[in-house]
Structure 1
């Protein structure tokens, strides 16, 4: 629907502008394609059906550096929602091919809280995204029953870096621990009525090569529920599996058929099932005047809350944790189908300076790339699946991707390389071309000539038939100007 590009070759230069301009009452996806770049600043998404489609998570980064805890850094203290780089409350949110980062957490590798993402909405999908920080990277939800689906995502942190509530399914994700002394992956606070909690299916636990060991999680509040199914541990998880205290008693904290980096089964016989925490006034040791600590070094208070959690699953119990069961709810929501890739375009060829290809199934449009950068789009229902690039040079490499109705990108097509050695060289008459502030002006253009302006990557910025000899375009970026008249074609660069 719209394109974001920092170089001005899209409809907007920032993600915030594109979201601000999006409809507020959508009942179907509004696709925002984001070209490569690092987009800085806090972002709030309250509108429904916003689909953010990044070129890929390596090149499209949404970043901020706010913190949400007391600090002596001289930084303002934000609430977790205002401190998160991206805060989502609009239902049916979808993101693919994007890195959500909190720069403070990544750089400092220390607390306090520094959230990359907070999704308080229902029916949120993250597909092939990266979430990066250190403490509290991802806050999943604040209410029972809200559903999130993460598919093939990379989530990085060290301390409670996935926390909150909701039914959240992590499918084939990588959980990357950055701290040598280990840490805690999850810190949930599910209510008892939460049906499923956190489900990690066929995920990989990885991290710093020097990690001594880590815990699956610790119980933040209430009655947390978390299961790890078919997990591969590339770094060691402590034999107890789960840390014994924080502020709640888990209902179910279990892992099933966990294997190590070599694919060998992990011994789960020592997994923790007993948890406790304290409430009330702190007990003071009369002999020292200091807070009294128990045998585990935990500060004692007047009330000790104890309990047990289910710490294992039978084959039958594990089999119930499917995407359909966990995510469908009362509205039969199916996030898996929204992350299915469409087939890559085939049959690419170049004739002259025109690229063409064969149609793919279930595609609404195609993304055209030149030397790795997006230069244009072609609708699937176009009369011909072709893209003309007048700036094509020998050696340029072209690929095409298909796009599903949800914004899921196909794999890249095969690469085709341009050879324009047999095409006539273009010449340059005596046009008058200059900059006037933020505007490019070209005069002395022949009557009825067509003028096109391109970004340096080949994206069309403007095209018009000139009737009065003058062409204007508002842009501060360098441009390629192409003028086609009856007698000749001319191309030149305006810096």
Structure 2
């Protein structure tokens, strides 16, 4: 009898996976093929040329995850964004086994090296708290897509690490304190909520290479938060040629009237490219912005299209 029950349960699991088109199911209660997300990642065949879908059931998965560069076309689907949580608690000054600081890059809860990665309905979190740099998501792979995902942390929450990487964030929630969206990738943020927490100072810290035309574009995003008035800048240049543009964004009153910060380097005012178009809300103060930033004309703003910024890639058609 116990064998019959086992095979019936196994049949139901396989049937449900086929019905919804998932390749793998992760569930902490054992109702899927894997109990951990990393085990499902490891099961993806290297250099597979088809999409591998991994459905992750509700739960808090405390794992330090690595999606290797050989794992391409992997698609994470969470059961529900707020209750399907991938988390870890490393941070910059936490010691490794040799007594050395892990560093900012070493603090990430998940590393995404594979190309064509996508995720939806998930929470990515660094749960270490306000202890300095502590990355929730570190993305190096090209053509990474996130839809209806939440990124939780404090300083350095989302690291768009990849040089030359193109990334797309749609209807996402991203929170943090200082430089909580940072890195060298080209990234488009569509209808995202950017939540500025108390104790912070800068929303973005792009390090766009001088050879790359576009850095960050935030389109129709809302900057919300519980930070005091006039406490945040829209961005500061981690590297000299940082590029960040806000289009049609609603800005809370915590955005400082000057808008941007040169990170204590006079030369950054000549090399960084910071711009806005049609900002609204109490944080929109076009006449008070720093003189070295740009207020785009309608014609200039029209040049910022999704496929132009992402160099021919349209993530909405995949």
TM-score range, shorter chain: 0.7 to 0.9
- The correspondence for 1:234, drawn from 252, 259, 263, is 252
Residue by residue over 1:371-399, the C-alpha shift from the partner in whole angstroms, topping out at 9 and shown as x without a partner, is: xxxxxxxxxxxxxxxxxxxxxxxxxxxxx
- Residue in structure 2 matched with residue 61 of structure 1 by the alignment: 85
- The correspondence for 2:149, drawn from 110, 126, 129, is 129
Please give the secondary structure, in 2, of the residue aligned with 1:269. Answer: helix
Higher helix share: 2
TM superposition shift of 1:148: 0.1
- Residue in structure 1 matched with residue 313 of structure 2 by the alignment: 333
User: Structure 1: which 5+ runs fail to align?
Assistant: 274-308, 339-495
- The correspondence for 1:314, drawn from 294, 297, 301, is 297
- The correspondence for 1:141, drawn from 161, 171, 175, is 161
Please give the secondary structure, in 1, of the residue aligned with 2:288. Answer: coil
- Residue in structure 2 matched with residue 205 of structure 1 by the alignment: 223
TM superposition shift of 1:66: 0.1
Q: 1:239-318 alignment to 2 at 5 Å?
A: 239-246=257-264, 249=268, 250-260=271-281, 266-273=284-291, 309-318=292-301
Contact 2:141 2:162 (8 Å CA) reproduced: no
Give the number of equivalent residue pairs.
288
TM superposition shift of 1:69: 3.6
Contact 1:182 1:211 (8 Å CA) reproduced: no
TM superposition shift of 1:15: 0.3
Residue by residue over 1:312-369, the C-alpha shift from the partner in whole angstroms, topping out at 9 and shown as x without a partner, is: 2111111111112112x2xx4220123xxxxxxxxxxxxxxxxxxxxxxxxxxxxxxx
Contact 2:142 2:162 (8 Å CA) reproduced: no
Q: 1:2-401 alignment to 2 at 5 Å?
A: 2-46=24-68, 47-69=71-93, 77-105=101-129, 110-143=130-163, 145-179=164-198, 181-208=199-226, 210-246=228-264, 249=268, 250-260=271-281, 266-273=284-291, 309-327=292-310, 329=311, 332-338=312-318
Distance (Å, rounded) in 1 between the aligned partners of 2:102 and 2:81: 27
TM superposition shift of 1:212: 4.6
Contact 1:187 1:218 (8 Å CA) reproduced: yes
Distance (Å, rounded) in 2 between the aligned partners of 1:229 and 1:111: 32
Distance (Å, rounded) in 1 between the aligned partners of 2:120 and 2:181: 19
Please give the secondary structure, in 1, of the residue aligned with 2:260. Answer: coil
User: Which of structures 1 and 2 has the bigger CA Rg?
Assistant: 1
TM superposition shift of 1:14: 0.5
Please give the secondary structure, in 1, of the residue aligned with 2:286. Answer: coil
Aligned Cα root-mean-square deviation (Å): 1.9
**CA spacing shift, 1:235–1:76, aligned 2, 3 Å:** farther
Distance (Å, rounded) in 2 between the aligned partners of 1:211 and 1:103: 26
Distance (Å, rounded) in 2 between the aligned partners of 1:238 and 1:207: 14
Residue by residue over 1:74-106, the C-alpha shift from the partner in whole angstroms, topping out at 9 and shown as x without a partner, is: x9621333310001111111011110000013x
Residue by residue over 1:278-303, the C-alpha shift from the partner in whole angstroms, topping out at 9 and shown as x without a partner, is: xxxxxxxxxxxxxxxxxxxxxxxxxx
